[in-house]
């Protein structure tokens, strides 16, 4: 099997720990265990036995995740090592060679890459920048065919931070239901909406929806490596069978902490912290864009830990990002990894002083050193 390079992750893996100012992250500045847990919970953590648990996830944790959705049980949930494993298990459980997959782009392209590797035909539907990075439903209808097995969308979106309006969500459900296909939604940024209430999950709108979520992005706990799938029982069981071939189980310590984090009160506490950080940093970024409006512009994100910035300089985005890293110690992501040159992705979940200094270096580089 030939797998195309996952360029986004390859660039980050190579360089994100080598720079002074890493602005490539798409999540929120993480908690420490001391910040997250009460003294009583910290003591209880010391008594966790480091053995194997349930290979599909601790029952109590799966129940806590199921409780986030109406009428769900632990059998509708599988816990995974991060949302990346969840996405992999989804592809291997639902798709087969010769199937057709509709992917909304720009997007986090892990599912796109795995599907192509196993012989799935991938069709792309563009999110339209002029619509605020929202798809045109007519484009979706034209893309879906009799061979389509699944649509996959990232909502809130990576990299643009757009949030699908409820009418668009309902429209996608109607198209999926009409064709009897799966509708997958990556919802790892759900809960980090900045100017609206948290919308429903696709899992709550459609009987053949499968959602990926986890604790790495909106929940600011990437080091736990806890993700999950929620979907129909049969498909979740199939993903469990495939997990026997991958990581077997998640870590006991991570599951203990995750069960605390997904309780409704604690979850809202974490999301409130995330939104406070993101709102303040987005205001900082907006001021910076305004001050450099001859060179940069963007559709302000409505959720999540990043912004997708269009720039006016006549330079390739990958070249720009590598020069910034080598000459100014700043790490960004190039629009090339999403198939959209003349854009860069900037994380807005870092501490404000970190973001501010990185942006200053970026502006200075573009105005003084970029030839």
- pLDDT tier for residue 347 given thresholds of 50, 70 and 90: very high
What's the topology of domain 7-32+267-366?
3.90.1150
- pLDDT exceeds cutoff 70 at 74: yes
At 313, list the tokens: 């300089």
pTM recorded for the entire structure: 0.96
The residue that leads in pLDDT, 2 or 166, is: 166
pLDDT in tens, 295-323: 999 999 999 999 999 999 999 999 999 99
Radius of gyration of the chain (CA): 20
Question: How many whole angstroms separate alpha carbon 50 and alpha carbon 19?
Answer: 35
What separation in angstroms does the CA of 250 have from each of 17, 58, 92, 214, 283? 25, 9, 19, 13, 38
Question: How many whole angstroms separate alpha carbon 83 and alpha carbon 227?
Answer: 4
Question: How many whole angstroms separate alpha carbon 141 and alpha carbon 132?
Answer: 20
What pLDDT does 371 receive? 56
Contacts of 115 (CB under 8 A, 6+ apart): 91, 95, 101, 103, 122
Q: Would 7-32+267-366 and 50-266 be classified into the same CATH topology? A: no
- pLDDT exceeds cutoff 70 at 285: yes
- pLDDT tier for residue 368 given thresholds of 50, 70 and 90: confident
pLDDT in tens, 160-173: 999 999 999 999 99
* Mean pLDDT, rounded, for 335-364: 96
- pLDDT tier for residue 370 given thresholds of 50, 70 and 90: confident
pLDDT cut 90: percent of the chain above it = 96
What pLDDT does 369 receive? 72
pLDDT cut 70: percent of the chain above it = 100
CATH architecture, domain 50-266: 3-Layer(aba) Sandwich (3.40)
What pLDDT does 173 receive? 98
Exposure string of 126-150, with b = 16+ CB inside 10 Å and e = fewer, is ebebeeebbbbbeebeebbeeebbb
* Mean pLDDT, rounded, for 316-336: 96
Question: How many whole angstroms separate alpha carbon 13 and alpha carbon 7?
Answer: 10
pLDDT in tens, 174-202: 999 999 999 999 999 999 999 999 999 99
What pLDDT does 1 receive? 83
Write the Ramachandran bin of 314: left for phi over 0, alpha for psi from -120 to 50, otherwise beta.
beta
Maximum pairwise Cα distance, the chain: 59
pLDDT in tens, 99-136: 999 999 999 999 999 999 999 999 999 999 999 999 99
The residue that leads in pLDDT, 370 or 330, is: 330
What pLDDT does 306 receive? 97
Question: So where are the chain's domains?
Answer: 7-32+267-366, 50-266
Question: How many whole angstroms separate alpha carbon 172 and alpha carbon 164?
Answer: 10
Average pLDDT along the chain: 96
Which residues, in sequence order, are bridge partners of residue 347? 306
* Mean pLDDT, rounded, for 233-262: 98
* Mean pLDDT, rounded, for 25-53: 97
């Amino acid at each position: 099997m030939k797998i195309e390079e996952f360029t986004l992750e390859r660039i980050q893996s190579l360089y994100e720990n080598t720079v002074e100012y890493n602005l490539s992250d798409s999540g929120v500045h993480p908690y420490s265990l001391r910040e997250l847990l009460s003294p009583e919970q910290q003591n209880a953590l010391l008594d966790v036995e480091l053995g194997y648990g349930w290979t599909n996830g601790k029952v109590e944790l799966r129940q806590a995740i199921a409780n986030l959705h109406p009428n769900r049980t632990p059998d509708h949930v599988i816990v995974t090592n991060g949302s990346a494993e969840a996405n992999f298990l989804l592809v291997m459980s639902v798709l087969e060679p010769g199937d057709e997959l509709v992917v909304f782009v720009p997007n986090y392209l892990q599912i796109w890459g795995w599907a192509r590797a196993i012989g799935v035909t991938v069709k792309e539907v563009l999110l339209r920048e002029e619509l605020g990075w929202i798809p045109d439903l007519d484009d979706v209808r034209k893309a879906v065919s009799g061979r389509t097995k699944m649509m996959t969308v990232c909502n809130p979106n990576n990299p643009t931070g757009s949030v699908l309006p409820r009418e668009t969500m309902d429209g996608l459900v109607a198209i999926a239901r009409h064709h009897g296909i799966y509708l997958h939604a990556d919802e790892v940024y759900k809960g980090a909406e900045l100017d609206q209430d948290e919308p429903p999950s696709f899992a709550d709108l459609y009987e053949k929806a499968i959602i990926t979520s986890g604790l790495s992005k909106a929940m600011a706990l990437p080091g736990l490596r806890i993700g999950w799938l929620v979907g129909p029982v049969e498909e979740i069981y199939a993903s469990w069978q495939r997990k026997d071939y991958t990581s077997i189980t998640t870590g006991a310590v991570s599951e203990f902490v995750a069960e605390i984090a997904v309780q409704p009160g604690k979850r809202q506490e974490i999301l409130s912290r995330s939104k406070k950080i993101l709102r303040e940093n987005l205001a900082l970024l907006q001021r910076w864009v305004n001050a450099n409006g001859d060179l940069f512009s963007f559709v302000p994100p409505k959720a999540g830990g990043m912004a997708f910035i269009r720039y006016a300089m006549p330079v390739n985005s990958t070249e720009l990002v590598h020069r910034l890293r080598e000459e100014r110690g700043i790490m960004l992501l190039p629009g090339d990894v999403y198939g959209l040159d003349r854009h860069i992705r900037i994380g807005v979940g870092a501490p404000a002083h970190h973001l501010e200094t990185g942006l200053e270096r970026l502006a200075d580089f573009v105005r003084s050193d970029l030839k």
